[in-house]
Amino acid sequence: MTKIQIILAVGSLMFTITVINLIRKESLDLKYSLLWLFSGICLILLAINHQVLSYLSSILDIVVPVNLLFLVGNLFLIAIVFSLTVALSRNSRRIRNLTQEVALLKNETEQLEKKISNIDTTL
C-alpha cells in the first residue's frame, strides 16, 4: 500500500467511526445516516483496493477511473440533498399542523375563560 492509500484508509475509517458514534449517541438518526455509512464503507474499500475503481470503470465503459469517482460522488450528493429535502418537507408539514392545533387550543381556552368570567359576573 502506498502512503496515499494509508492516509485515505485511515481518514475513511475515522469518518465511519465518527458516524457510528453519532448514531450511538443519538445525535444522528439512523434513517438519515445510512447514506453516510454506505459512503464511508465505500471509501474504505476504494482506499484499500484502488483496482476496484478501475474494474468498475472498465465495466461501465468509462475511460478514466477518476470520472467514475466524480460520477459516484455527484450521485451521492444528489441522494443526500434529496433525503434532506424530504425530511425538511416532512418537518415543515408537522410544524404547520402543530401551529394550527395550538391556535385552535388557544381559541378554545379564550372561549372557556370568557364563559368563566361571565359566570363570575352573574354571581
CA 41 → CA 35, 65, 112, distances in Å? Answer: 10, 19, 59
The backbone torsions φ and ψ at residue 37, rounded to the nearest 5 degrees and listed phi first, read -65, -45
Angle at 109 between CA 106 and CA 114, to 5 degrees: 125
Dump pLDDT digits (tens) for 51-74.
888 899 999 999 988 888 888 889
Comparing 35-39, 64-68, 105-109, 118-122, the range with the smallest average pLDDT is 118-122
Label residue 123 by pLDDT band (50, 70, 90): low
Confidence of residue 101 (pLDDT cuts 50, 70, 90): very high
Q: What is the pTM of this model?
A: 0.68
SS3 38: helix
Give the residue carrying C-alpha cell 465511519: 16
Mean pLDDT comparison of 2-6, 22-26, 71-75, 91-95, highest-scoring range = 91-95
Where are the domains positioned within the chain? 1-49, 64-123
Q: What is the pLDDT of residues 13-55, one digit of tens each?
A: 999 999 999 989 988 887 778 888 888 888 888 888 888 888 9
Return the pLDDT at 65: 85
Residue 77: per-residue pLDDT: 87
